[in-house]
Amino acid sequence: MNKDIATPIKTRQILEKYGFSFKKSLGQNFLIDTNILRNIVHHAQVTEESGAIEIGPGIGALTEQLAKLCKKVVAFEIDQRLLPILADTLSDYDNVKVIHEDILKADVAGVIEEEFAGKVRDLHVVANLPYYVTTPIIMKLLEEKLPLSGITVMLQKEVADRMAAKPGSKEYGSLSIAVQYYTEASVAMIVPKTVFVPQPNVDSAVIHLAIREKPAVDVIDESFFFMVTRASFAQRRKTILNNLSSQLPEGKSKKEIILKSLEESGIEPGRRGETLSLEEFAVLSNHLLPHFRQSNE
């Protein structure tokens, strides 16, 4: 197949050939701009020695660009109707494997061990993610501490902005902290809705998450640290003292302890969660942990 998949004409031909109709429930929006796909691959920093995991390959537009450059590509596709299409569009590439599985239920670590271990120099996730499951997918990849160098994905611009947000901005929240705890996040490019079929309602962005060798801050208990950060943003207009008192287990009865922990951490109790840095949240959660250990276990 000489022509790139990701052109409006080629995409339409493939869809018509297979009588394919888009499923809104699967968030299917296919890219029809080859330059943007090449740019995504460029931002992913993959080489001919790299392995790539793709999620939701669709009709293979991004898969094709990855296969041209990477040593091996494994793509997870949930929609059975796309399997024969992918077998056709990617028939020229013997370095691609398509797995019919929901990435959220998949044993990704097991697949990496089987498909990539000892065969590639580094491993990247590169994908145009379905909007409705963007955050759960990224958090699964990060929390499972997979041997990845980076994650480069297209998602809703608003979500990308939240993942890369800095303290003090209105986008900054518990998602920013969770992502930046594990990675260095940067928005690589903005993608207009006009380059998709069907067109989504919002613009997209490509975010590049470079996996940190170790988390950004030292915390004694990761799950408690994330519990504290989520609690701190529960109601954005409330102070951190009021949010923690109302959201942490037995927080109301431990308000004095929370106040003392804030003071010991050098954090003014009247501040709001969005003004605290990752470092401040780490210090605070480490101070609070001994007083909430039972309720956290």
Report pLDDT digits (tens) over 253-278.
Answer: 999 999 999 999 999 999 999 999 99
Tell me: do 253 and 199 sit in the same domain.
no
146: exposed, middle or buried (C-beta count within 10 Å: 0-12, 13-18, 19+)? Answer: middle
With b for 16 or more beta-carbon neighbours within 10 A and e for fewer, the 224-252 pattern comes to: bbbbbbbbbbeeeebbbbbbbbebbeebe
Contact call for residues 167 and 180 (beta carbons, < 8 A): no
Only one residue has tokens 């208990």, namely: 221
Report pLDDT digits (tens) over 139-184.
Answer: 999 999 999 999 999 999 999 999 999 999 999 999 999 999 999 9
**Boundary of a domain, candidates 211, 237, 268:** 211
Domain span at residue 137 reads 8-211
Q: Is 242 annotated as a binding residue?
A: no
In a domain, 227, yes or no: yes
In a domain, 2, yes or no: no
Q: Is 39 annotated as a binding residue?
A: no
CATH number for the domain harbouring residue 273: 1.10.8.100
Q: Is 221 annotated as a binding residue?
A: no
Cα separation, 241 vs 267, whole angstroms? 10
Tell me: do 147 and 188 sit in the same domain.
yes
Q: Is 128 annotated as a binding residue?
A: yes
Contact call for residues 248 and 254 (beta carbons, < 8 A): yes
Report pLDDT digits (tens) over 175-226.
Answer: 999 999 999 999 999 999 999 888 888 899 999 999 999 999 999 999 999 9
First to last CA, the chain: 56
Q: Is 222 annotated as a binding residue?
A: no
Q: Is 218 annotated as a binding residue?
A: no
